[in-house]
Structure 1
């Protein structure tokens, strides 16, 4: 689901944000070596009202979010040029990538709820804490 703010042309912002998210995900998967940045999922695109700027939100598994953000932002210009070839629109937004911590927080909350539901007398031991 894409995040959007503009209501200038009903639905256009949302459709464009969704298309950018879809196309970027494909380009990143096919064209960029993300081995040092972990598994990246684009979770949303937020467009400015004039479509000149896009905040691309992502989640990452298996790497530090800062590493993934640095790599994606380093490739932003190249990704912009690839989008230009695919979108066929007058203004392709400049891209900035931001880690989206909501998924990680959701997983952590789910684990806490599971632990609380087990309770002290459930007979199921708690998972050992990571001591690193």
Structure 2
């Protein structure tokens, strides 16, 4: 991946997060934008997000992004100037949840090991 695409990904991630915080704070408080992956031609951007909560919260967040996704794209496009502004595709990213589960397992193993000594 080129340096330009890497910088655009980081810029889009920051700006999407900022627009969500600024205009949809109550609805998006439990949502984290974990990564943005823009195509090389800048026509499409996959925006990966994580949600604190259960399956119902994930479904509600998916529905929320269907409702506000175009507005977020429009607001971000006012802040960032690109020749071609990408279409946003919001995709759930369970990696933060899996990472938290792994940390819990490691903490439990550490406690068990310390208790055995």
Residues 36-55 of structure 1: pairs in structure 2 closer than 5 A: 38-55=29-46
What are the ranges of 5 or more consecutive residues in structure 1 without an aligned counterpart? 1-6, 124-132
Contact 1:41 1:58 in 2 (8 A): yes
Q: Distance in 1 between matches of 2:79 and 2:72?
A: 11
What are the ranges of 5 or more consecutive residues in structure 2 without an aligned counterpart? none
Q: Distance in 1 between matches of 2:36 and 2:24?
A: 19
Q: Which has the higher helix share?
A: 2
Residues 21-36 of structure 1: pairs in structure 2 closer than 5 A: 21-35=13-27
Correspondence for 1:94 = 87
- Give the TM-score of the pair, scaled to structure 2: 0.85
Q: Distance in 1 between matches of 2:81 and 2:113?
A: 60
Correspondence for 1:18 = 10
Q: Distance in 1 between matches of 2:66 and 2:73?
A: 11
Higher alpha-carbon Rg:
1
Q: Distance in 2 between matches of 1:40 and 1:88?
A: 25
Correspondence for 1:81 = 74
Count of residues paired in the alignment: 114
Which segments of structure 1 move beyond 4 Å, counting only runs of 4 or more? Answer: none
Q: Identify if the C-alpha distance between structure 1 residues 92 and 20 changes in structure 2 by more than 3 Å, giving closer, same or farther.
A: same
Contact 1:83 1:92 in 2 (8 A): no
